[in-house]
Structure 1
Amino acid sequence: MDRLGLLCRNIYENNKMTQRELAAAMDISLGTCNHLVKEGLDQELFSFDPVDGSYSLLKGGVDLLRNYRMDSAVILAAGFGSRFVPLTFETPKGLLEVYGERMIERQIKQLHEAGVTDITIVVGYLKEKFEYLIDKFGVKLLYNPEYHNKNTLTTLYRARECFIGRNTYLLSSDNWMRNNMYHTYECGAWYSSVYMKGETSEWCLETSKKGLLTGVKVGGEDSWVMYGPVFFSKEFSEKFFPVLEEYYHTPGTEQMYWEQVLADLLNGEVDSHLPGKHHFPVPEMYINRQPDNQVYEFENLEELRLFDERYQNHSDNIAMELISEVLQVPESEITGIKCLKTGMTNKSFLFKVHGKSYICRIPGPGTELLINRKQEKAVYDAIKDYGITEHVVYMNGETGYKISEYYEGARNSDPRDWDDVARCMALVEKLHDSKLHVDYSFDIRERIGFYEALCRGYEKKLFEDYPEVKSHMTTLLDRLDRLNRPKVLSHIDSVCDNFLFLPDGDLRLIDWEYSGMCDPLIDVSMCAIYSYYNDFEVEKLIKLYLHREPTSEERFVYYAYIALGGFLWCLWAVYKSSVGEEFGDYTIVMYRYAKRFYKKIITSPEFLGIGDGGTLR
């Protein structure tokens, strides 16, 4: 770090500082400061007027600072912020308000005060929410398409062009700085740091006597830790980004924070991730020690509540307000909030009220087109006293919001544990034998047509043989219709994750969004494809359900629903992909079930004439 440059910067910002004040501002001793002042006067970087105690920058000082002028800032805002659910289901973390001011806006204003107006925000999750900042502050948005499954190393890689040849701040949208810590000039790369007393799991910094970073370790005690904004000088970026790019292109680094690259460089451990590569120079970065109560990185809603009391009972969040109303408690008594694994259809979170655990379900994007919530509520009303589903505390047939009890210690069924599967099939059989009735059916032909319409032809571009496969599915639907089999209340979504084994040994079947009257064998077929069963497992499952060998007609219906279910959920996943949600190879797996089991039907003499008027298609 150029200490003379830093001295000139402080004089530029406040020309009437005493040497003691200068020393404090620069985090150096008074003796070192006195020496630097003398050196600066000798080099004619500035002058001193003993009459009014002021310093004045001379041409030499102005020229020195020119290379240190700040060019830009990059703000990372792509992540989801899972520890802030349910607030972040609606609003990106950086757009949450603290004392009535959005965190990212506060930082932008502070940057503007320092003369930094070239600001790029790297977005991903709910990216459209940041669009207004373009007009309000003149920022630029940079989209990171990998935000949903990779960490900040990838986000920084996507923004790398914003740093090369420039002096650039790197900020997180969800930081809050009490006082403005940005400057028009910065005289050496730094990482903001706060002192953590006692044990900490933060990234602890090791430094030289002059504040140069020499090492990083995760976790420590009574340590200065990485916390808050970072400054990348031109010189730092020139050395750092070639290494970061190597990491990005190396498998196994997808979940890394960008700081891991810096830590490896400082610790001499680059070869642990880039085997055989030791040639990278270590870029210089200094510690920027901040006082207490200056930099805040809120870890969760509980911390934000302690800082800004408005969040105690007025979070302005639909889910929190709903829970407060339903359970008749102030928001402050809703604690222990944790994001659960985001499902394919819904988002949900766990919370506690008076020591009891609940789950709040929030419909996912586009779900209102896929699911009739009034029908779902009708099913829950029909089965609520039958002892096979979760205890639903609240269900809204208009919005789809649901609050249910959470079973501590419960586990999902294991599709590879056949004892589990047998019990699950027994519960499905109990449902089918219940004679419960609702006034609507699950019509798989109608659902296929509906999802196909939502895809708007995209599915035909994805699959080369789509028209042929669609024709095959129509053939199966026609043959099923001719059988005119009886319908019972069916779950439809009999995935292993929807079967809960409770600690007392009881079993529950949850999430009845797709349920309706249908051929009971559809539940067995859906269980098979959701479990990614092979042919042997497919056969074993139907025998577990029936307790015997299936008839030819039963096996035909079972296979037909496996094919049709694969086709249906493939279209469903294609649609979900079009609204920004991806599920890996799910579309391919489901499409393969459609093709493979259609082929098994038309090539087997066992199914000759079933539902086809005696003619095999």
Structure 2
Amino acid sequence: MEENYYVDVNMQRNGKAKAQIHAASPKNAIILAAGYGMRMVPINTEVSKGLLEIHGEPLIERLIRQLHEAEIYDIYIVVGFMKERYEYLIDEYRVELIVNPEYTTKNNLYSLKCAEKYISNTYIVPCDIWCEHNLFRKQELYSWYMVNNSLKPDSCVLVNSNMELNLISETDAGNGMIGISYLTGKEAQLVKQRIKEMCSTSCYTSAFWEETLYEKRKMIVPARVVDEADVVEINTFEQLRELDSGCDQLKTDAIQIIEEVFQVSQKDIKNITVLKKGMTNRSFLFECKEKKYIMRIPGEGTDKLINRREEAEVYQKIADYHICDRVIYMNPENGYKITEYMNSVRNCDAEQMEDVKKCMKKLREFHELKLKVNHEFDLFEHIQFYEQLWEGSPSTFKDYAETKRKVFSLKSYVEQYCGQKVLTHIDAVPDNFLFWEKNPKETDIKLIDWEYAAMQDPHVDIAMFCIYAMYNRTHIDQTIDAYFTEGCAENIRIKIYAYIAICGLLWSNWCEYKRSLGVEFGEYSLRQYRYAKEYYAIVETERRKVEIQEHV
């Protein structure tokens, strides 16, 4: 410091040093709190991660208070999921909330983009951090990214002797990444520039904001290393339980149900892992008594979409036929369900025709059981029902009224060729066919997720399989032929085309309702509406061809 003229002859900081300290000192903080916190199942269905409590103190309040202790009062919180739960912080701590409207489909790079203009001498902090000691400071001299002194297999950076953070291969262990960072000077400006560049291209939709820090196989900022015990990132139910076993938020409905069903205590429920978020529900995997199970938690707005008593009736009807996965528990009031986990399974690959043929064979075998229940899934009534859930809001599609009129005109045709109605899956999509390798020589196929199952024309299931797979007409005809190995009559084929149009509008309306709840399905919703329009036209064309042939 003496050589660089930061101290005087008495080894006291001079004007140059004081100016640099002032220029680099913290001005504000951005807390990222928009995401679902999917790994926190089942707690994330009831509370946002930032509001998890450790010893009665919400994580985000502890962070705010620690920032205040470091005299940082300009705090911006980026919210999305359960954003209303954070509103009280405005009055209590004078923070500013910034809403990320894309939190359902994009990662936290886009959350930071919402607050990008505030990045300058800034702490960037994830909301799910618990710091035993205050790690924020009144003075900072340079930018850094925080890691701990423990090696983790899921980290991608390793600190070297020069305090540089080097990228490592996926097979190596790196320093645990905390997620807290401080940005000042040229690094802050570079991060702002990169945020704009990355968010302008779709390839960074799933990116974490740390992507902006990488350059030539290392981070552009040095490491700040802390002890592993000083900072805990709470990502899972079990991490929360380990930190505060008495936390009231551990007592979720889902956990209490598991305790009652298996007659165990909370500590006996282990290895809770989120499964892929479905279109209707959230599910998680857990272990209990040395076996694995899956618990389904109904998703947003599901209570309006699905009659759980009717679903329970279906499961009771098919119980003796070993068609689906084994149900351990089913609550007909709220839809909570526990099933036994099956090892060595995979979903149907809709691009492999051999898989499709096996699924169609299984589907036809089920239909030919001719099972009956006491409720029906009326396609046209459900189109109207989903539309009513919009509560007077217009469709996002400009020509919706005309498309609906055309689709409803197909009703008489499908009724003419309907045939006998039987228990039909309704949601017989590729993802719901599980190929289960029971042993090296035997593979069985299970059909899961019977929420919509009811009495209907069984050929509706063929249409549903095709539109979920987003097949073109060639693939659709191949699927129809795989079901009708003896050959498909032309009027039946046209009827299935009509079901494709009808079901396309049905699920398009369903997507419009789910969108109003903040759930987006990207290309899927657009393609369903296209099926409604395009296959109405195909039906009309094919019907005219048949009429001409009959006339000749």
Q: Is the shorter-chain TM-score for this pair beyond 0.5, marking a shared fold?
A: yes
Question: In 2, Cα distance between the equivalents of 1:603 and 1:200?
Answer: 56
In structure 2, what is the equivalent of residue 493 of structure 1? Answer: 427
The offset of 1:476, in angstroms, is 0.8
Q: Kindly provide the CA deviation profile for residues 341-361 of structure 1, in whole angstroms up to 9, marking residues without a partner as x.
A: 111111111111122111111
Determine if contact 2:165/2:222 at 8 Å carries over to the other structure. Answer: no
Q: Secondary structure at the match of 1:256?
A: coil
In structure 2, what is the equivalent of residue 27 of structure 1? Answer: none
Question: In 1, Cα distance between the equivalents of 2:477 and 2:528?
Answer: 18
Are residues 1:359 and 2:359 paired?
A: no
Percent of paired sites with the same residue: 38
In structure 1, what is the equivalent of residue 168 of structure 2? Answer: 218
Determine if contact 1:75/1:171 at 8 Å carries over to the other structure. Answer: yes
Q: Kindly provide the CA deviation profile for residues 53-88 of structure 1, in whole angstroms up to 9, marking residues without a partner as x.
A: xxxxxx999877654553211111122323222222
Counterpart AA for 2:388: A
In structure 1, what is the equivalent of residue 322 of structure 2? Answer: 387
Q: Summarize the alignment of residues 508-519 of structure 1 with structure 2, pairs less than 5 Å apart.
A: 508-519=446-457
Counterpart AA for 1:154: Y
The offset of 1:517, in angstroms, is 0.7
Are residues 1:325 and 2:249 paired?
A: no
Determine if contact 1:459/1:574 at 8 Å carries over to the other structure. Answer: no
In structure 1, what is the equivalent of residue 133 of structure 2? Answer: 179
Q: 1:221 to 1:421 in 2, by over 3 A?
A: closer
Counterpart AA for 2:462: V
Q: 1:541 to 1:236 in 2, by over 3 A?
A: closer
The correspondence for 2:354, drawn from 401, 419, 431, is 419
Q: 1:382 to 1:264 in 2, by over 3 A?
A: same
The Cα RMSD (Å) is 3.1
Are residues 1:263 and 2:201 paired?
A: no
In structure 2, what is the equivalent of residue 451 of structure 1? Answer: 386
Question: In 1, Cα distance between the equivalents of 2:347 and 2:172?
Answer: 39
Question: In 1, Cα distance between the equivalents of 2:16 and 2:137?
Answer: 20
In structure 2, what is the equivalent of residue 230 of structure 1? Answer: 181
In structure 2, what is the equivalent of residue 16 of structure 1? Answer: none
The offset of 1:458, in angstroms, is 4.8
Q: Kindly provide the CA deviation profile for residues 361-413 of structure 1, in whole angstroms up to 9, marking residues without a partner as x.
A: 11110111111111111111111111111111111111011111111111111
The correspondence for 1:563, drawn from 495, 501, 520, is 501
Counterpart AA for 2:137: H
Question: In 1, Cα distance between the equivalents of 2:526 and 2:174?
Answer: 50
Counterpart AA for 1:470: K
Are residues 1:79 and 2:30 paired?
A: no
Counterpart AA for 1:488: V
Q: Kindly provide the CA deviation profile for residues 154-185 of structure 1, in whole angstroms up to 9, marking residues without a partner as x.
A: 32222111124xx3221111111111222333
Are residues 1:374 and 2:309 paired?
A: yes
Are residues 1:298 and 2:252 paired?
A: no
Question: In 2, Cα distance between the equivalents of 1:535 and 1:222?
Answer: 49
Determine if contact 2:160/2:166 at 8 Å carries over to the other structure. Answer: yes
Question: In 2, Cα distance between the equivalents of 1:422 and 1:225?
Answer: 47
The offset of 1:606, in angstroms, is 5.2
Moved more, 130-139 or 224-233: 224-233
Q: Summarize the alignment of residues 246-285 of structure 1 with structure 2, pairs less than 5 Å apart.
A: 246-250=197-201, 252-264=203-215, 267=218, 285=221
Larger radius of gyration between Structure 1 and Structure 2: 1
Counterpart AA for 1:503: E
Q: Summarize the alignment of residues 398-477 of structure 1 with structure 2, pairs less than 5 Å apart.
A: 398-456=333-391, 458=393, 460=395, 462-477=396-411
In structure 2, what is the equivalent of residue 153 of structure 1? Answer: 109
The offset of 1:544, in angstroms, is 2.6
The offset of 1:548, in angstroms, is 2.2
Higher relative contact order (CA 8 A, sep 6+): 2
Question: In 1, Cα distance between the equivalents of 2:465 and 2:60?
Answer: 46
Determine if contact 2:34/2:80 at 8 Å carries over to the other structure. Answer: yes
Q: 1:392 to 1:68 in 2, by over 3 A?
A: same
In structure 1, what is the equivalent of residue 436 of structure 2? Answer: 502
Q: 1:574 to 1:410 in 2, by over 3 A?
A: same
The correspondence for 2:90, drawn from 128, 131, 134, is 134
Are residues 1:533 and 2:533 paired?
A: no
Question: In 2, Cα distance between the equivalents of 1:360 and 1:329?
Answer: 16
Q: Summarize the alignment of residues 180-219 of structure 1 with structure 2, pairs less than 5 Å apart.
A: 180-196=134-150, 201-206=155-160, 208=162, 214-218=164-168
Q: Secondary structure at the match of 2:206?
A: coil
Q: 1:315 to 1:235 in 2, by over 3 A?
A: same
Counterpart AA for 1:171: V
Q: Kindly provide the CA deviation profile for residues 6-25 of structure 1, in whole angstroms up to 9, marking residues without a partner as x.
A: xxxxxxxxxxxxxxxxxxxx
Q: Kindly provide the CA deviation profile for residues 191-235 of structure 1, in whole angstroms up to 9, marking residues without a partner as x.
A: 334322697735223464xxxx54422369897665353222355
Counterpart AA for 2:446: R
The offset of 1:577, in angstroms, is 1.4
Determine if contact 1:196/1:221 at 8 Å carries over to the other structure. Answer: no
Determine if contact 1:197/1:223 at 8 Å carries over to the other structure. Answer: yes
Q: 1:240 to 1:447 in 2, by over 3 A?
A: closer
The offset of 1:118, in angstroms, is 1.5
Question: In 1, Cα distance between the equivalents of 2:7 and 2:482?
Answer: 90
Q: Secondary structure at the match of 2:168?
A: strand
Determine if contact 2:29/2:125 at 8 Å carries over to the other structure. Answer: yes
- Would you say how many aligned residue pairs link Structure 1 and Structure 2? 544
Q: 1:528 to 1:258 in 2, by over 3 A?
A: closer
In structure 1, what is the equivalent of residue 488 of structure 2? Answer: 550
Query: For structure 2, which runs of at least 5 residues remain unmatched after alignment?
Result: none
Question: In 1, Cα distance between the equivalents of 2:147 and 2:190?
Answer: 22
Q: 1:251 to 1:465 in 2, by over 3 A?
A: closer
Determine if contact 1:459/1:571 at 8 Å carries over to the other structure. Answer: no
Question: In 2, Cα distance between the equivalents of 1:438 and 1:96?
Answer: 43
Counterpart AA for 2:472: N
Question: In 2, Cα distance between the equivalents of 1:179 and 1:507?
Answer: 54
Q: Secondary structure at the match of 2:321?
A: coil
Determine if contact 2:27/2:72 at 8 Å carries over to the other structure. Answer: yes
Determine if contact 1:111/1:117 at 8 Å carries over to the other structure. Answer: yes
Give me the TM-score of the superposition, normalised by structure 2.
0.89
Q: 1:492 to 1:44 in 2, by over 3 A?
A: closer
Q: 1:251 to 1:363 in 2, by over 3 A?
A: closer
The offset of 1:488, in angstroms, is 0.8
Q: Kindly provide the CA deviation profile for residues 84-127 of structure 1, in whole angstroms up to 9, marking residues without a partner as x.
A: 22222322222212222111111111112222221111122332
Moved more, 332-341 or 547-556: 547-556
In structure 2, what is the equivalent of residue 48 of structure 1? Answer: none
The correspondence for 1:88, drawn from 44, 58, 66, is 44
Question: In 2, Cα distance between the equivalents of 1:200 and 1:265?
Answer: 20
In structure 1, what is the equivalent of residue 274 of structure 2? Answer: 339
Determine if contact 2:426/2:461 at 8 Å carries over to the other structure. Answer: yes
